[in-house]
Structure 1
Amino acid sequence: MSTPSTQVVSADAKTILLIEDDEAHALLIRRAFESHPEGYVIDVVRTLREARDTLEHHVPALVIADYRLPDGEGVELLQVQSNTASVCPVVIMTGHGDEHLAVESMRAGAIDYIVKSDATMGGMPRTADRVLREWHHIEQRRKAEQALALSEERYALAAKAVNDGLWDWNLETNTVYYSPRLKAMLGFAEGDLDDTLDAAFGLVHEGDVGLLRAAIDSHLSGGTPHLECECRMLNNNDSDFRWMMIRGLAVRYSDGVAYRMAGSLTDIHERKRAEQQLHHDALHDVLTGLPNRALFMDRLSRCLERARRCDNYLFAVLFLDLDRFKVVNDSLGHTVGDELLKSVADRLLDSLRDGDTVCRFGGDEFGVVLDGIDREDEAMQIAKRIAQRVEQTYRLSGDEVFTTASIGIALGSNDADSAESLIHNADTAMFRAKAHGRGYVELFKGTMHMDALQQLHLENDLRRALAHEELTVFYQPIVSLESGRIEGFEALVRWQHPEKGLVLPCEFIPLVEETGLINAMGRYVLKLACAQLREWQHRLLLPDLTISVNISAKQFVESDLADQIKKMLHEYALKPACLKLEITENLIMENTEDASQFVEALYEHGIGLAMDDFGTGYSSLSYLHSIPVDTLKIDRSFVSQMDTDSNGFEIVRTIIALARTLKINVTAEGVESIDQLTLLRALQCPMAQGFYFSKPLDVASAEALLISRPSW
């Protein structure tokens, strides 16, 4: 007889299965995940059938399913999962907010239900993070419950082997036989426990006496087939109560009247403690002991219900995120990081009033419900008090640790939509606070949703701009003050938006850095600049023309950046000396070890390095000896004051003298007047750039300027 084969279903913790027949919605969600640090692969299918086929072979980390599909409803997938081993969390989406559909989805086993909108689909990575954290806790709890069930089964077998305590009650004489084992379980020696029912009832916790009497009466009257009751009984040895299971069965006359009842006594104290611990763990964070998201949502829902009943009731939700917590983890280790989280939890508890609730959402995120506040500014005062308490010094494992908290506040009243929307509003306000810097507190305003949506649209436009090559490069000439001729250009990125026109870097560079697109954009700009330089050198017969390209901090820490640059020089047949990379002083100081290795690699290949905005950063000169910088670029803030402020002139003079001593080239940025140019020449500054010579130009205008051979 052949043995049926067992299909192996592989698990993939990095894949998210998206079941969506609307291509626009699927694209929006897929793009939202592109910058996610976990690097999820979004597997998109359009029908329920395709989803079933996929789940037969692979278990994704998460399933996101549209409720309405061409061949069925997304909730049918939950039935498929229940019949296979491929079980994973499922989020149901729908285009319409229907409470009936939400209830149906959650009852069917969905972990969450989301109404489609640009905001919810764009914010799907955050929803996925939350859902996967909740699923992890659910799985842990399920495994613990399975272990508990197995433990109970083993305990039952052991109890039979060693005999539980036995009792036999003669209802006609009202006397009870208690076995020696039963007496020992209750801390009595043989002969110490009276043979009466009252003797046993006297040991039962007063809170359980009524329950036990009702269970006995119900069985004797024929209401239940047997007696089974859990109650607490006093142990005579240590005067502590222990949980016991009392079981029994009545023996009856032919007319059904009971004349005898016999049964057993089982010690279930450890099982009850385990159940209570499981219940506690299901509602509390394991690390800090604070309520978790589930308990927090319950408390918040109660506040909402109260607000709907009481017109004047006001409450608030705080969303708190520790600033630069990752730095603590990376530098001092996860053990210290955990100690910091526990210490922060203690300080949060100390900062709140009786009746308020603080929870840990996960990671370094905490939530607070202020239950009942008199006015709006009271929430702000409490939040500021929390922020001040959190930023005080921590002594952890012998180290002094500092952190701050960014806090967002959402006010709740009788017009609040839901607990989830309040948390989302507080979260949005927290991100606005974090954008201001560390340790800020921000109150949610309705316009923040629109700002967040605009930011999402701008990010989507930016991704499309990179894909469709809407980004372009402008060129600002760098002039030799000795010859008055153009020596090279600085390449400056610009965004030619199809609807908004030319977008300046200050409007989109911060977003590029935040979304992780800076590396792709940097490579794109470097490629365009090198290609253009090659064309001008050959076509205009300018073999020594140079190009300067800015390098961002995130590009700087790329392990293969030097190799990328060398390949690009080879691809466009450029002399290394014709390419200069510009980095900021702060970037060098914050990444000294990486900087030294990177610059050495460039130096070995003859590629120049310019220190941009010199004098505005750490102002530490030691790195000029250890890192081979060949050009200092004097910041425009100093150059602009040369002809009006003696301090500005002295700073520029000192930098030029220092560079001359170290045999380093100098370029003065931001030259805007003939007076500034005259002073720079008097100080023998080698190079300069600025609006006096030319603003940044597009390719055609820059080429025309080169052809005209201007001299200043």
Structure 2
Amino acid sequence: MNLKIMQSCEEKLLLDAPFPSFALNKNGQITIWNPICEQYLGYKKEDFKNINTLKDQLLSTLSENMWQRILDAQEFIRINNIQLLHKNETLSKADIIIIPCLINGEHSIAFYCFPEEQFAFLGDSEQELNDLKNGILSSFMVVNLDHEGFIISCNPLFLKTSKWTPKRVLKKNFWQLFPEDEESQQMADTIWNTISKGKIWQGDVQKTKKTGETYWVHLTAIPTYSQKEQKYSYILIEQDITNEKELQQKLEKIAYVDAETGLMNVHRLENVVKKMIAEQQNFYFVYLSIDKFYTLKELHNVEVESNFILEFTKRLKIYFQDSVLARVNESDFIVITPLGEWFIQGFLTYLKQHPIYIGHRAMPITISGGITRSPQDQSNFTQLMNASLATIADVRKAGGDNILSLSESAHKKLSRKSIIEKRLLLALDQHNLKVLYQPQVDLKTGKIYAVEAFVRWEDEEIGVVSPDELIPVAEESGLINNIGSFMIEEACKQAAQWQQQGIELKVGINLSVREFRDKNMAKFILDTLMKTGCPANLVQLEITEKFALEAEAETSIIQQMRKLEEEGITFVLDDFGTGYASFRYMQLLPIQILKIDQTYIQSLTKSDKTQRLINGIVHFGKSMNLTVLAEGVETEEQKQLLEQYDCDAIQGYLISKPVTADKIPQLLSS
């Protein structure tokens, strides 16, 4: 009697429940399917012929393990947040309570489904979490994976974007969401390896739709760990960024392609070359420059603009088939090819055999080119470009119309120059440069009255770098300003320190015109004097004739020099006689000291002509009310001749080599 009552109660509860409820017998056949099931889920009882039909449709998101657990159930089971697949192929979430029972005398399994949107009893904090979840589900594509990477649920936005249907996508694995090419599958492996270790992965990835089309998403893959099951499951939160990616690709195409020829431009070329170097490929980097291009344009006007470059590009493509081609500016092209030098040089002959015609007249084209091997000659893009430009400069000096490569020694020199530039950046950052001081002696008193500051650099990797090697690299790279600032600060600091010790010594600092093009240079120098406590009258700024000639044409430089002169700083004209002598800048610039270059002093005792020249320079300086100083004095005989000519001061190895600051007091007392 009790059993009958229990049976009828279970059956009645299933049939009358205000939520989808149904029952299975031991064979997996549906014995009860309440009206709410048909209304809410869309299926009729007849749609489920056996348990496999139910598994593949309504409950297709359940794993095999969970199904086995349900069929073997001896007690109550609750499954939270399971996705139900409706007959119209939409998804909804529900909690399911599963109870083993007897119905009509048979062992059965009752399923009570509580759809999320109809049965939600949450507290305030839970409600906030639910609102956040709903916001994510409505704004982002969401896919849930089990611990093996199989899809167990997804939201409608994912289905809409990917064009998958729930029936088709559920039970697919994570890797099947990505294109089948090697790069995409490697990306999928990377993501999986990250999240399977319990770490979040974020980034832009390309995925594939059911139709085979690809689309881009910004993906956040989050692992979630179940203490109960001792396993990870995973949530993929995705935002469709296909439009942004397509726009980016269009912009990149514009940025990376030469509009006139369709060849890649220098920015794209750099990326290609870097990749080839990373892959350790061997290739020839060929820089081809059209000689006198702008003259040709002027002579042939519009016709050159519209036809000439396109015809030249066509010949490049025909001759250098299967090679990488780029246009780096209006008249310069790059070819990346595995073909040897003899073939590359044959392009000149090919051009002569296939001339470019404007109207009925062949264009008189000549090409200057440079060939550089990678990695044998140079090992990065900048070095390849620099070597090519150096080669072309040599070719043009020799008349042009040739394609050559630099000698091994020239490549070594360029490579060292590149290394110096890199190491110099490090040296400036780590304050590894040193300052040495060379004394200057007043010939009338025989006393040291001033020193010239020299930068010295000994690098742990490349050894001693001489000023003759350092300064040109610094000027080309723009680091001369950094060296100048370092020298000014160190020299002013040292002059102030000597003064505190009772030693009044002027300090000469070499500056370039590049530094004075900075309109704040005078201010920087005066600020440094104030910061270091160095009096302005102890500073001598040494400039070259090239500096003076350029300063003559730039009023802002003259104004800065005059401002410094007014504060008490002295200007020295260095290397006099080796540059562009001009009486005009002698009038315009505030120069007080004239320094005779050491190249004249070296031949002073060997040449009567040099003696007359130096005697004339000294008297010229005196006539301009300038102090005359001779540098590079190494012998007593040279000193005596200079005294005879009434030279004011000397500097050179006869007095001392450049020494560290601590040695100067010893020289003063000797």
- Structure 2 CA distance for aligned equivalents of residues 672 and 703 of structure 1: 21
The amino acid that maps onto 1:292 is L
- Cα distance, 1:346 vs. partner? 4.8
Indicate yes or no: 2:341 matched with 1:379. Answer: no
- Structure 1 CA distance for aligned equivalents of residues 448 and 495 of structure 2: 13
Indicate yes or no: 2:444 matched with 1:486. Answer: no
Structure of higher CA gyration radius = 2
Query: Which segment drifts farther, 550-559 or 526-535?
Result: 550-559
State which of 562, 566, 572 in structure 2 corresponds to 1:604: 566
Deviations 1:462-520 (A, max 9, x none): 22211111101000001101111101100000113234554322232222222222111
- Cα distance, 1:136 vs. partner? 2.6
Deviations 1:42-70 (A, max 9, x none): xxxxxxxxxxxxxxxxxxxxxxx9x9797
Q: Contact conserved, 1:672 with 1:691, CA < 8 A, in 2?
A: yes
Q: Contact conserved, 1:548 with 1:582, CA < 8 A, in 2?
A: yes
Give the equivalent residue in structure 2 for 1:320: 289
Q: Contact conserved, 1:548 with 1:580, CA < 8 A, in 2?
A: yes
State which of 579, 583, 586 in structure 1 corresponds to 2:539: 579
Q: Contact conserved, 1:319 with 1:408, CA < 8 A, in 2?
A: yes
Give the equivalent residue in structure 1 for 2:643: 681
Give the equivalent residue in structure 1 for 2:492: 530
Give secondary structure in 2 for the equivalent of 1:76.
Answer: strand
- Aligned pair in 2 of structure 1 residues 318, 658: CA closer, same or farther (>3 Å)? same
- Structure 1 CA distance for aligned equivalents of residues 304 and 240 of structure 2: 38
Indicate yes or no: 2:612 matched with 1:655. Answer: no
State which of 638, 655, 667 in structure 2 corresponds to 1:693: 655
Alignment of 1:291-690 (within 5 A): 292-293=263-264, 317-320=286-289, 346=308, 355-356=318-319, 361-363=327-329, 366-367=332-333, 376=342, 379=345, 382=348, 407-410=369-372, 427-433=385-391, 443-444=404-405, 455-539=417-501, 541-543=502-504, 545-592=505-552, 593=554, 594-690=556-652
- Aligned pair in 2 of structure 1 residues 426, 517: CA closer, same or farther (>3 Å)? closer
Give secondary structure in 2 for the equivalent of 1:526.
Answer: helix
Q: Contact conserved, 1:429 with 1:442, CA < 8 A, in 2?
A: no
Give the equivalent residue in structure 2 for 1:190: none
- Number of aligned residue pairs: 409
- Structure 2 CA distance for aligned equivalents of residues 344 and 532 of structure 1: 64
Q: Contact conserved, 1:634 with 1:666, CA < 8 A, in 2?
A: yes
- Structure 2 CA distance for aligned equivalents of residues 295 and 513 of structure 1: 25
Indicate yes or no: 2:211 matched with 1:79. Answer: no
Q: Contact conserved, 2:326 with 2:335, CA < 8 A, in 1?
A: no
Indicate yes or no: 2:255 matched with 1:136. Answer: yes
- Structure 1 CA distance for aligned equivalents of residues 447 and 589 of structure 2: 30
Give secondary structure in 2 for the equivalent of 1:591.
Answer: helix
TM-score normalized with structure 1 length? 0.48
Q: Contact conserved, 2:288 with 2:367, CA < 8 A, in 1?
A: no
Q: Contact conserved, 1:580 with 1:608, CA < 8 A, in 2?
A: yes
Unaligned 5+ segments in structure 1 are: 5-64, 91-108, 112-130, 139-282, 302-313, 329-334, 387-403
Deviations 1:537-564 (A, max 9, x none): 221x123x10000002321211111111
- Aligned pair in 2 of structure 1 residues 625, 380: CA closer, same or farther (>3 Å)? farther
The amino acid that maps onto 1:564 is F
The amino acid that maps onto 2:217 is Q
Give secondary structure in 2 for the equivalent of 1:79.
Answer: strand
- Cα distance, 1:284 vs. partner? 4.7
- Structure 2 CA distance for aligned equivalents of residues 694 and 318 of structure 1: 49
- Aligned pair in 2 of structure 1 residues 362, 637: CA closer, same or farther (>3 Å)? same
Give secondary structure in 2 for the equivalent of 1:489.
Answer: strand
Deviations 1:638-684 (A, max 9, x none): 11111111221122111111111110111111111111100100011
Q: Contact conserved, 2:435 with 2:455, CA < 8 A, in 1?
A: yes
- Structure 2 CA distance for aligned equivalents of residues 609 and 591 of structure 1: 13
- Cα distance, 1:599 vs. partner? 1.9
Q: Contact conserved, 2:437 with 2:454, CA < 8 A, in 1?
A: yes
Give secondary structure in 2 for the equivalent of 1:475.
Answer: strand
The amino acid that maps onto 1:503 is V
Q: Contact conserved, 1:291 with 1:359, CA < 8 A, in 2?
A: no
Give secondary structure in 1 for the equivalent of 2:583.
Answer: coil
The amino acid that maps onto 2:241 is N
- Structure 2 CA distance for aligned equivalents of residues 345 and 471 of structure 1: 54
Superposition RMSD in Å: 5.1
- Aligned pair in 2 of structure 1 residues 501, 704: CA closer, same or farther (>3 Å)? farther
- Structure 1 CA distance for aligned equivalents of residues 268 and 495 of structure 2: 60
- Cα distance, 1:135 vs. partner? 4.2
Give secondary structure in 1 for the equivalent of 2:610.
Answer: helix
- Structure 1 CA distance for aligned equivalents of residues 495 and 302 of structure 2: 52
Q: Contact conserved, 1:407 with 1:429, CA < 8 A, in 2?
A: no
- Structure 2 CA distance for aligned equivalents of residues 654 and 341 of structure 1: 59
- Structure 2 CA distance for aligned equivalents of residues 687 and 296 of structure 1: 55
- Cα distance, 1:446 vs. partner? 10
Query: Which segment drifts farther, 575-584 or 676-685?
Result: 575-584
- Cα distance, 1:584 vs. partner? 0.7
- Structure 2 CA distance for aligned equivalents of residues 405 and 621 of structure 1: 43
- Cα distance, 1:625 vs. partner? 1.1
The amino acid that maps onto 1:79 is V
Alignment of 1:19-418 (within 5 A): 72=201, 76=205, 79-80=217-218, 83=241, 134-136=253-255, 284-285=259-260, 290=261, 292-293=263-264, 317-320=286-289, 346=308, 355-356=318-319, 361-363=327-329, 366-367=332-333, 376=342, 379=345, 382=348, 407-410=369-372
- Aligned pair in 2 of structure 1 residues 410, 379: CA closer, same or farther (>3 Å)? farther
Give the equivalent residue in structure 2 for 1:166: none
- Structure 2 CA distance for aligned equivalents of residues 471 and 135 of structure 1: 44
Q: Contact conserved, 2:578 with 2:597, CA < 8 A, in 1?
A: yes
Give secondary structure in 2 for the equivalent of 1:616.
Answer: coil
- Structure 2 CA distance for aligned equivalents of residues 348 and 597 of structure 1: 50
Unaligned 5+ segments in structure 2 are: 1-134, 136-186, 195-199, 207-215, 219-238, 273-282, 353-365
Give secondary structure in 2 for the equivalent of 1:490.
Answer: strand
The amino acid that maps onto 2:205 is E
